Amino acid sequence: MFDTSTFIRLLPELILLVTALVVIFVDLYARRRTALGLLPGLSIVGLALSFLAVFAQWGTREVVAQTLAADTFAAFFKMVAAVAVILVVLASVRYMRARTRYVGEFYAFLLVATLAVYIAVSARDLITLYLGLETLSIVSYVLTGFLRDDKRSNEAAIKYFLYGAVASAIMLYGFSLLYGVTGTTDLQEIARRLLNGDVLVNMEWLAWPAIVLVTVGFAFKASLVPFHQWAPDAYEGAPTPVTMFLSTVSKATGFAVMARMFLVAMPALQSSWTALLYGLAVLTMTLGNLIALRQTSVKRMLAYSSIAHAGFILMGLVAVTTALGQPFNGLDGVLMYVVAYAFTNAGAFAVVAAVEDGTGGATLDHFAGLVGRAPFLAAAMLIFLLSLAGVPPLAGFAAKLFVFAPVVRQEYYVLAVVALINAVLAAGYYLKVVKQMFFVEEPERAPFAVARSMRWALWLMIIAVFGVGIFMNWFAFMASQGAAGMLGL
């Protein structure tokens, strides 16, 4: 069963696993100073190698070990995760060193979390899917509460854990219903049996509560309104690099799993899950933005903004069409949005981390006159905020284009108007930060420096944000291949 080809297909995962182990051992045996220098480098090398291993196998479309899909859809999310985690590592070098002794564990956990993401996005079986998501969740709880002496970090972890556990239980219940009806955990098989009426018990109607329960579970993971209450606290209390991870990679994973689950296992019930997601999308973007408007902490504001963005991503799934080969099919919008959003949001949170480092806080007041004190940070933040607002030629514009388009194609006029209003609302609070950074002048406050690794990370993200926007065609190409290559369609 375990032959060479399986080994090669699993190479990206294995690289991550080995790197995580190496990081733990180096941390155990190396002297502290060497370890501090070595660990981030090791993690980045491992992530980069694993990225290459995924990229080298782009275009495959096969089942591995019966439960994993080695398809372009999974590969796309894996590559996004690998790159995003590299950026997280770069952003955490100084931040974590200044706040905790357990740096080795931190990087190891990040690598394991990435591994969990890899498994979750390629899972094509309910059990594997749950395994991946649950590993990711548990590691995320630990990472959120990583600063043991920080009350807020602890509170965030507990909140996140309690909500997450409940969500997992609900989702699991939904899975059990699906299994009870169809007698299989294989996603493709579930779809086939639901379609043919080839079911164990004659209670197909159970698929409906199953959809609702599964959706609720995913909605918790992806922090969709009204299942979002944990997110702002967790995002604000967690160490900022962890917030970067949660708001980009974790969230992307939630959408990947959701897309695969709905499209592969329940194509027959599309109208009902579309209706559910439609409502969630409208609620999520509107409430997320309205609450974000009132925040005074930039970190918390970005937390709510990332909730709102989840609503935008959801538009792609709501308006998904089965003609996945064509551009603007909805699913490619989800992928485009995930890439664009990963770089942009990670960038924005990285700036927040740097500002916290330099000024000791991340409220709007700490951003006042930033252009005079740390012009590079201010410029970087401006670029990320404009991208979040969807201003061309930045990444956020590409994302906006690709999720608005399917909505227009499907002629969901109400959703389109809601999205329009929300785009403007969001710009309103992004500009509030811009105003603080550039229009308010604080000549008395001292300038501060930015760590070198952070500078690197920010440059990379700026280039990426421009790159995705200007060379939209490359990313659109990858996204459309990623969407069309989903196994089991």
Partner 1 sequence: MAFFDRWVLTIILFWPLLASIWVLMLPKEKEDQIRRVSIWMSVVPLVLSALLFVDYGARFLPRGGGIHYDVQVTWIPQLRASYHIGADALSVPLIFLTALLTTLSLYYSARVIKHRVKEYFFLFLLLETGMFGVFMALDLVLFYVFWEVGLVPMFFLIGIWGHENRMYASLKFFLYTLVGSVAMLLAFLALYFHAGTFDIVQLAEKRPFADDIFKASLVFFGIFLGLAIKVPSWPFHTWLPDAHTEAPTAGSVILAGILLKLGAYGFLRILLPILPTAFAYWGFLMVILGVISIVYGAFVCMAQTDLKRLIAYSSVSHMGYVMLGLGAAGVALSGKVVPLSPDSAALAMDGAMLQMFNHGIITGALFFLVGILYERAHTRDLTAFGGLSGKLPYYYGIFMVAGFASLGLPGLAGFWSEFFVFRGAFDIVRVWAAIGVIGVVVTAGYILWRIVANVFLGEFNEERWGDKLWDMEGYEKATLWPLVLIMFILGLYPTPLVNFFNQAAVELLTKAGFMFH
Summarize as ranges the residues that interact with partner 1 (CB under 8 A).
Answer: 327-328, 371, 386, 389, 391-393, 397, 400-401, 404-405, 408-409, 416, 420, 423-424, 427-428, 431, 435, 438-439, 472-473, 476-477, 480
Contacts of 251 (CB under 8 A, 6+ apart): 222, 223, 306, 310
Q: How far is the CB of 286 from partner 1 (least distance, A)?
A: 15
Token pair of 248 as six digits: 């980009």
From residue 467, alpha-carbon distances to 93, 341, 380 in Å are 25, 13, 15
Strands 62-64 and 68-70: antiparallel
- Complex with partner 1: residue 187 or 423, whichever CB lies closer: 423
- Complex with partner 1: residue 137 or 481, whichever CB lies closer: 481
- Complex with partner 1: residue 27 or 332, whichever CB lies closer: 332
- Complex with partner 1: residue 388 or 389, whichever CB lies closer: 389
The total of other beta-carbon atoms located within 10 Å of residue 279's CB is 14
Cα distance between residue 137 and residue 160, in whole Å: 9
Q: How far is the CB of 282 from partner 1 (least distance, A)?
A: 16
Contact predicate 22/38, CB 8 Å: no
Instruction: Assign 125 to helix, strand or coil.
Output: strand
Contact predicate 302/244, CB 8 Å: no
Q: How far is the CB of 403 from partner 1 (least distance, A)?
A: 11
Q: How far is the CB of 391 from partner 1 (least distance, A)?
A: 5
Computed over its alpha carbons, how large is the radius of gyration of the chain? 21
- Complex with partner 1: residue 199 or 431, whichever CB lies closer: 431
Contact predicate 249/84, CB 8 Å: yes
Q: How far is the CB of 410 from partner 1 (least distance, A)?
A: 10
Q: How far is the CB of 436 from partner 1 (least distance, A)?
A: 10
From residue 145, alpha-carbon distances to 126, 148, 160, 167, 478 in Å are 29, 6, 9, 19, 36
Contact predicate 355/378, CB 8 Å: no
- Complex with partner 1: residue 267 or 327, whichever CB lies closer: 327
Contact predicate 310/224, CB 8 Å: yes
Q: How far is the CB of 454 from partner 1 (least distance, A)?
A: 21
- Complex with partner 1: residue 183 or 327, whichever CB lies closer: 327
